[in-house]
Chains A and B, each alone.
Chain A
Amino acid sequence: MSVNNNHITIIPGYNLSIGITIFYISFIILLPLISMSITTSHMTLTQFTAVIFDKRVLASFQISIICSLTAAVINCFFGTILACILVYYKFPGRTIIDSMIELPFAIPTAVAGISLAALYSPNGYIGKIAATWGLYPAYSKAGITIALIFVTIPFVVRTIEPVLQNIDPAFKEAAFTLGAGQFTVIRKIIFPEIFPTLLLSGGLAFARAMGEYGNVIFIAGNMPYKTEIVPLLIMIKLEQFNYPQATSIAIVMLLLSFIVMFILNSLQIYYQKIITGGKN
């Protein structure tokens, strides 16, 4: 392991810092995961697969993945637009909008869930309008997706913002002087710069959405095979005092999120290499 000691760091020494890092990650992240695995290890492989391939569990995985993916994709699109507006334009009320982006992080999820359910149910303000068009967002997959969009928006905006800020305006100016239109600049300069980060933020949003519970259960309706999400199923197993089954579902969920994050991270590194011309 070679350590680059050429630049002066403010951190007191490499050995100490890496020690702290490894300790912290082990203690805070790895330890709970290991304890989860130990709980599951009381089961045989047959029992484990029986839990995971149960029709109802598979259905809930399908629902969770579809809704989380949809929410992540929609957020990647609108989140980028939001980030662009916040970075490129100065307008009255910008700081207010800027501080509102983080609210979904700060609000207790149950509170947000109850208000969303009230808003989108056929008697709520939005639900009423939707009902006249024959749309019923509450107690459906649409409702779940809405709740997930709400909770994951900060991830996308906050990861894209710094990248946009760091794009050298000279590039854009050069492009404009060479006669490129607005759209070409976005397509050829801005988008390639933010694309790797967008992948990462989408992955973060997806992983977070997969695990979201409090926000969703109020608007989902929780009908088996239709609107039952994986975290609720885990809760159900716990309510039946069935720890091994609950943790085995949780582990599969974790693996899924990890795989998605891993793929997106690899893609990000790959694109980063292209952008920086093989350096890094």
Chain B
Amino acid sequence: MNKNIILLLFFLVFLTIAIYTIEQQHKHIELINVSYDSTRELYKQYNEAFSIYWKNKTGQVINIIQSHGGSSSQARSVIEGNDADVVTLASAYDISVIASHQLINDNWVSRLPQQSTPYTSTVIFLVREGNPKSIHSWHDLIKKHIHIITANPKTSGGGRWNYLAAWAYAYKTYNGNEFFIENFMQQLFANVLTLDSSVRSATTSFVENNQGDVLISWENEAHLITKKYPGKFEIISPAISILAQLPVALVDKTTTYKNIHTIAEAYLKYLYSPTGQKIAAENFYRPANKLILQNIPIFLTYRWIL
């Protein structure tokens, strides 16, 4: 019995030493990118590309850590002390909140090209194959017996963009008449079947649980779905939608403290390089670079963005 305990103790000591040494070995430079829900696939690919680029350029091996979640929750975690070096979130609002806590310089928007948005997206509809309820425009959504699935604008960054896109349509249609706009929004949300807490759970409701007739979602999310389930869904581009700018920013406080300002800056700048822009496009984000954007047929079906 006693022998066993001593053996166990030895084993535990050995284990801690082993873990410690493994940790020591992995102590090359670490970069933490705090992002939102839909960018998982994009940054997985981008991180690999950037690591190779950086190693060729400087010989340094960097270890990029990804964190994903709802955009506002992620912003909150950064404010509360999550050591993010860069934030790549779903709206400028979330980054400004971090900036208002003195973690990011106030001039962050102007520090990178295109108002710090290396890629954009927009809001589209996803309907079931054959479009059985013939939904083509925002106005079709307020018809009777249409069930809409969308992320909750109160809890999800994507949900907010969906709301704003609908508002933009109503604004355009009713020439800014608040009464009619609000009336339209009320009718729209009266048709909503579930307000899911995030874009991904809205996708789950629509795709896996077969709920509703139309999913209002990100363009990139819709393309991911059609790629994964070919022949089951159709993407409908409404004539009027919104340009969703997806900003990125360097968290000055953390990078200064960790002394990796240059790497973090290069990480964000590389998003604007042809390689970075291509990776964004491959993941169905609209590249900020107009030349690259024009050569991608899937983004050309678009007519008008507010």
Which residues of A come within 8 Å of B, CB atoms? Answer: 114, 117-118, 121-124, 139, 217-218, 221-224, 232, 235-236, 238-241
Q: Which of B70, B97, B152, B211 contacts A241 (CB 8 A)?
A: B97
Which residues of B come within 8 Å of A, CB atoms? Answer: 70, 72-73, 75-76, 79, 97, 152, 154-156, 192-197, 201, 204-205, 208-211
Q: List 22 A-B contacts (CB under 8 A).
A: A114-B204, A118-B208, A118-B209, A121-B209, A122-B210, A122-B211, A123-B211, A124-B209, A217-B196, A218-B204, A222-B152, A222-B195, A222-B197, A223-B194, A235-B197, A236-B154, A238-B72, A239-B70, A239-B72, A240-B154, A241-B72, A241-B76
Decide if A240 touches B209 in the complex (CB within 8 Å).
no
Q: Report the bound CA distance from A218 to B211 in whole Å.
A: 12
Q: Report the bound CA distance from A224 to B155 in whole Å.
A: 13
Q: Report the bound CA distance from A260 to B194 in whole Å.
A: 31
Q: Report the bound CA distance from A105 to B208 in whole Å.
A: 25
Q: Report the bound CA distance from A223 to B195 in whole Å.
A: 6
Most buried by A among B70, B76, B195, B196: B195
Known: A236-B154, A236-B155. A221 touches B193 (CB 8 A): yes
Decide if B194 touches A139 in the complex (CB within 8 Å).
yes
Decide if B155 touches A239 in the complex (CB within 8 Å).
yes
Decide if A117 touches B209 in the complex (CB within 8 Å).
yes
Q: Which of B73, B76, B79, B194 contacts A221 (CB 8 A)?
A: B194
Chain B residues positioned under 8 Å from A223 (CB to CB): 192, 194-195
Known: A239-B70, A239-B72. A232 touches B197 (CB 8 A): yes
Chain B residues positioned under 8 Å from A118 (CB to CB): 208-209
Chain B residues positioned under 8 Å from A236 (CB to CB): 152, 154-155
Decide if B155 touches A117 in the complex (CB within 8 Å).
no
Having A236-B154, A241-B97, one finds 17 other A-B pairs with CB under 8 Å, namely A121-B205, A121-B210, A123-B210, A139-B194, A217-B196, A218-B204, A222-B194, A232-B155, A235-B155, A235-B197, A238-B72, A239-B70, A239-B73, A239-B155, A240-B154, A241-B76, A241-B79
A170 CB, min distance to chain B CBs, angstroms: 42
Decide if B208 touches A222 in the complex (CB within 8 Å).
no
Q: Report the bound CA distance from A217 to B192 in whole Å.
A: 15
Decide if B209 touches A222 in the complex (CB within 8 Å).
no
Q: Report the bound CA distance from A139 to B73 in whole Å.
A: 24
Chain B residues positioned under 8 Å from A222 (CB to CB): 152, 194-197
**Total contacts A to B, CB within 8 angstroms?**
60
Chain A residues positioned under 8 Å from B194 (CB to CB): 139, 221-223
Q: Report the bound CA distance from A123 to B205 in whole Å.
A: 11
Chain A residues positioned under 8 Å from B209 (CB to CB): 117-118, 121, 123-124
B238 CB, min distance to chain A CBs, angstroms: 24
Q: Report the bound CA distance from A239 to B154 in whole Å.
A: 7
Most buried by A among B70, B79, B155, B210: B155
Shortest Cβ distance from A123 into B: residue: B210
A249 CB, min distance to chain B CBs, angstroms: 14
Chain A residues positioned under 8 Å from B72 (CB to CB): 238-241
Shortest Cβ distance from A228 into B: residue: B195
A120 CB, min distance to chain B CBs, angstroms: 9
Shortest Cβ distance from A243 into B: residue: B76
Chain B residues positioned under 8 Å from A123 (CB to CB): 209-211
Decide if B197 touches A217 in the complex (CB within 8 Å).
yes
Q: Which of A121, A218, A224 contacts B201 (CB 8 A)?
A: A218
Q: Report the bound CA distance from A123 to B201 in whole Å.
A: 17
Q: Report the bound CA distance from A241 to B74 in whole Å.
A: 11
Q: Report the bound CA distance from A121 to B205 in whole Å.
A: 9
Q: Report the bound CA distance from A274 to B53 in whole Å.
A: 78
Chain B residues positioned under 8 Å from A235 (CB to CB): 155, 197
Q: Report the bound CA distance from A218 to B196 in whole Å.
A: 7
A269 CB, min distance to chain B CBs, angstroms: 41
A136 CB, min distance to chain B CBs, angstroms: 10
Chain B residues positioned under 8 Å from A238 (CB to CB): 72-73, 76
Q: Report the bound CA distance from A139 to B192 in whole Å.
A: 11
Chain A residues positioned under 8 Å from B201 (CB to CB): 114, 217-218
B111 CB, min distance to chain A CBs, angstroms: 23
A245 CB, min distance to chain B CBs, angstroms: 13
Q: Report the bound CA distance from A232 to B201 in whole Å.
A: 15
Q: Report the bound CA distance from A118 to B201 in whole Å.
A: 12
Q: Report the bound CA distance from A118 to B72 in whole Å.
A: 27
Shortest Cβ distance from A219 into B: residue: B194
Chain B residues positioned under 8 Å from A240 (CB to CB): 72, 154
Chain B residues positioned under 8 Å from A139 (CB to CB): 193-194
Chain B residues positioned under 8 Å from A221 (CB to CB): 193-195
Q: Report the bound CA distance from A101 to B75 in whole Å.
A: 38
B83 CB, min distance to chain A CBs, angstroms: 19
A53 CB, min distance to chain B CBs, angstroms: 19
Q: Report the bound CA distance from A211 to B220 in whole Å.
A: 35
Shortest Cβ distance from B192 into A: residue: A223
Chain A residues positioned under 8 Å from B152 (CB to CB): 222, 236
Shortest Cβ distance from B197 into A: residue: A217
Chain A residues positioned under 8 Å from B205 (CB to CB): 117, 121
A101 CB, min distance to chain B CBs, angstroms: 27
Q: Which of B154, B192, B211 contacts A121 (CB 8 A)?
A: B211
